[in-house]
Amino acid sequence: KDYDGLPKKRMLLGSHLLRGGERFVCVVEGIVDYARMVGHGYPAMAFMSSTLTEWQAEILKDIGLPVYFFHDDDKAGKEARDNAKELLWRHIPVMKVRYPTDCTVETPEGDFRPPEDPAELTAEQVEEMIEDARLL
């Protein structure tokens, strides 16, 4: 959704809520993914589009914590993750998470598939993905 006058390209939703003492941050694409991660108790931020911008990368560099990117597990999400790596890897650790393949979620059509979106993950799955993450 485009909010008139909101400079989304220059901000990260949730960056102002960091309290200090966080060991890392989780970065997601949209507001629903952000709400899920915060609901699970993780320090999260959303860039509110499909690609991290240079302005947003500067915010993450200033925060200085390792970044776990929870992009959607699709082609656009992987491209966005690779773009973020290029903007950040020289400055802060960028971690790649892998979506679980040993479980399924039900689609609106009644089919089943592995989770592909942070909003589909349980708190336990997020924790496992963080523990299993690798440097990008």
| Both structure tokens of 111 | 């089919």
Q: Which residue has the higher pLDDT, 38 or 3?
A: 38
Q: What is the reported pLDDT for 131? A: 97
Sheet of 94-96: strands edge to edge? 44-46, 25-28, 67-70, 94-96, 134-135
Tens digit of pLDDT for each residue in 68-102?
999 888 888 888 888 999 999 999 999 999 999 99
Q: What is the reported pLDDT for 134? A: 95
Coil, helix or strand for 124?
A: helix
pLDDT of 119 higher than 90: yes
Contact between 113 and 74 (Cβ < 8 Å): no
Tens digit of pLDDT for each residue in 17-73?
999 999 999 999 999 999 999 999 999 999 988 889 999 999 999 999 999 999 888
Q: What is the reported pLDDT for 2? A: 57
Question: What global pTM score does this model have?
Answer: 0.89
